[in-house]
Amino acid sequence: MSGTEPLRALVVEDEPLARARLRELLEPVAWLRWVGEASTVSAAHEALARLRPDLVFLDVQLAGGSGLDVLRGAREGTEVIFTTAHDRFAVTAFELGALDYLLKPFGADRFARALERARPVILSRRGSAAERGRAVLGPGRLERLFVRDGGRIIPLLVGDIERVQACDDVLLVHAGGRTYRLAVTLAELEERLDPRTFVRVHRSHVINLDQVVSFAPTEDARLLVTLRSGTTLFASRQRSRELRALGR
């Protein structure tokens, strides 16, 4: 997919007014193009195979079966946002990998938030490694990252990050005892992190100050940083001076 080609959206909804409302909400979204619609389970399976959408807006209750069955049959890489009046299917939908679950009636703001969540997940599957990495950052100050966890892409709250380590051409994001890989530079990620919370301790490491247990001075004018996980890092002399200034 080129950098300017819109992502492809399919609407699966049995109510004509609901389909029209979704088309209306999608119309001003420049990066997403409506490519078709379906109103039954069988038509949905056919449209998925023929149109190969990136994103599906899917009702739960459809003629001929359930939207959950449609999700189970979707090809890998097809993301789904449910749009339904029934909240009792939400747990199952998320267990099957749905990105979001919109309860009718929902407004334009709620719809926009669902798209904000979906876009980086979809883009992270496409393009070069660098493009995928930048896509997961999204615009503005970060609240979450979308990272790969086996065959899934999951949201990782920024506050749960302990440290970020530059390693060759990738970043290693350490959080909750796990390590995730991102194909961006440390500088690119650092620009999107809150500088009041995330600080660089030397050329290859950014730490979360909320995860720090202690700073201990060393004989060579550096600080030994101990994190909650028990990990220890030496801050460079310059960064040690900056960290000492934070405590004044």
SS3 content of the chain, % helix, strand, coil (to 5): 35, 35, 30
What is the DSSP annotation of 107-137? -HHHHHHHHHHHHHHHHTTSS-HHHHHHHHH
The tens digit of pLDDT for each residue in 192-243 reads: 888 889 999 998 999 999 999 999 999 888 999 999 999 999 999 998 988 8
Residue 74 pLDDT level (bands cut at 50, 70, 90): confident
Q: What residue spans in the chain does CATH classification 3.40.50.2300 cover?
A: 7-123
Nearest-CA neighbor of 119 among 156, 146, 94, 152? 146
Q: What residue spans in the chain does CATH classification 2.40.50.1020 cover?
A: 130-246
Task: State the fold for domain 130-246.
Answer: OB fold (Dihydrolipoamide Acetyltransferase, E2P) (2.40.50)
Nearest-CA neighbor of 113 among 67, 74, 144? 144
Nearest-CA neighbor of 163 among 244, 218, 237, 233? 233
Is the distance from CB of 55 to CB of 79 less than 8 angstroms?
Answer: yes
- pTM greater than the 0.75 cutoff: no
Nearest-CA neighbor of 9 among 36, 39, 28, 40? 36
**Residue 21's pLDDT is what?**
93
Mean pLDDT across the chain: 85
Q: Quote the distance between the C-alpha of residue 154 and its chain's center.
A: 6
Q: Which CATH class is domain 7-123?
A: alpha beta
The tens digit of pLDDT for each residue in 166-192 reads: 887 788 999 999 998 887 788 888 888
